[in-house]
């Protein structure tokens, strides 16, 4: 099965979260966490501006929601689907949560930590390394970010 076929619906849900972040003037990044059966158990969008929270990244919000729903911090068998490549904080949280996989859209050449600038999740010194799938609806996320930052500059 092609990554777009398998992860497309979840990435569309993450993109909807990203678009919702625009209402609070946050950078439009969205994430969902899927359980082993593919059901969304956590969702999040960037809320750094909304909550004045430096840890208010979409991935962190979604991971917290999934852990609450599950009643446990270990998210074995779960998948994080996020519109932009996670940063070091979020990649580290994904490793610590024991996620089975990370699926993301666009690469982040300035802060990406899942293959671009760093590769935290594949570091052999860590005790857990999730599978990585990249490029799912990357064009849509890139366009959303480009539009957001163009509006910020004008």
**Contact status, residue 113 vs residue 95, Cβ threshold 8 Å:** no
State the Cα–Cα distance between residues 20 and 13, nearest whole angstrom.
11
State the Cα–Cα distance between residues 34 and 51, nearest whole angstrom.
25
Catalytic residue among 39, 49, 59, 140: 59
- In the residue annotation, 59 being an active-site residue is answered as yes
Q: Identify the helix (H) or strand (E) that includes residue 84.
A: strand 79-84
Q: Identify the helix (H) or strand (E) that includes residue 33.
A: strand 30-34
DSSP state letter for 97 = T
Q: Which residues are tagged catalytic?
A: 59
């Amino acid at each position: 099965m092609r990554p777009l076929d398998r992860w497309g619906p979840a990435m569309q849900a993450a993109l909807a979260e990203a678009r919702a972040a625009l209402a609070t003037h946050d950078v439009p990044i969205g994430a969902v966490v899927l359980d082993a059966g593919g059901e969304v158990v956590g969702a999040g969008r960037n809320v750094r501006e909304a909550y004045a929270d430096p840890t208010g990244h979409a991935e962190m919000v979604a991971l917290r929601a999934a852990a609450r729903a599950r009643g446990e911090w270990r998210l074995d068998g779960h998948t994080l689907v996020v519109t932009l490549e996670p940063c070091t904080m979020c990649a580290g949280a994904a490793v610590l949560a024991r996620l089975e996989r990370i699926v993301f859209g666009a690469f982040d050449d300035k802060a990406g930590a899942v293959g671009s600038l760093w590769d935290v999740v594949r570091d052999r010194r860590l005790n857990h390394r999730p599978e990585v799938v990249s490029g799912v609806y990357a064009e849509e996320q890139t366009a959303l970010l480009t539009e957001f930052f163009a509006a910020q500059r004008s």
